[in-house]
Structure 1
Amino acid sequence: MTSHNHFLEIHYSLRGRTLPADHGYALYSAIKKQLQQLGRPDLPSDIPSDLRLSSIAGIPNGEGMIYLNRASRFRLRCPTDQVQTWYRFFQNQVLDIQGHLIRLVQPRITLPEPSGTLAARLVTFKLEAIDHLEVPRYFLESCQKGLTHLGIQGKVFIPSDPNGDLARRTIQVKGKKVVGYRVIVEDLTPEDSLKLQWHGLGGRRHFGCGWFYPVKEEPNAA
Structure 2
Amino acid sequence: MNWAGWPENKPEEYAPRMIDLQFDLVGTTIPTENAQLLSVALQELVPWLGEEPGIGIQHLKGAETNSGDATLNINRRTKLFLRVPRARVDAMQRLVGQTLDLAGHVLQIGDFKTREFSPFANIYAHFVDTGSAGEEQFVQDVMRELDGRFQLRCGFICGKQQTLQSTSGPLYGYSLMLHDVPPHKSLQLQDEGLGRNRLLGCGIFIPHKSIAPVIPAIL
TM-score (norm 2): 0.80
For 1:104 and 1:191, how far apart are their aligned partners in 2? 33
Q: Paired residues, what number?
A: 198
Contact 2:28 2:74 in 1 (8 A): yes
1:63 to partner: Cα distance? 4.3
Note closer, same or farther for the CA distance 1:201–1:45 as it changes in structure 2 (3 Å cut). closer
Partner in structure 1 of residue 18 of structure 2 = 7
Partner in structure 1 of residue 173 of structure 2 = 180
Q: Which amino acid aligns with 2:73?
A: Y
1:34 to partner: Cα distance? 2.2
Contact 2:55 2:198 in 1 (8 A): no
> Considering only aligned residues, what root-mean-square deviation do their CA atoms show, in Å?
2.6
Contact 2:17 2:191 in 1 (8 A): no
Answering whether residue 110 of structure 2 is matched by residue 105 of structure 1, we say yes
Q: Which amino acid aligns with 2:171?
A: V
- Give the gaps of 5 or more residues in structure 2: 1-13
% identity of equivalent residues: 23
1:23-71 Cα shifts (integer Å, max 9, x gaps): 11111111122235xxxxxxx3845223221112222346433221333
Moved more, 45-54 or 195-204: 45-54
Q: From 49, 68, 71, give the equivalent of 2:53.
A: 49
1:82 to partner: Cα distance? 1.3
SS in 1 for 2:135: helix
Q: How does 1:1-222 map to 2 (within 5 A)?
A: 5-35=16-46, 44=48, 46-61=50-65, 63-86=69-92, 88-127=93-132, 135-148=134-147, 149-159=149-159, 167-174=160-167, 176-216=169-209
- Give the gaps of 5 or more residues in structure 1: 37-43, 129-134, 160-166
Note closer, same or farther for the CA distance 1:63–1:168 as it changes in structure 2 (3 Å cut). farther
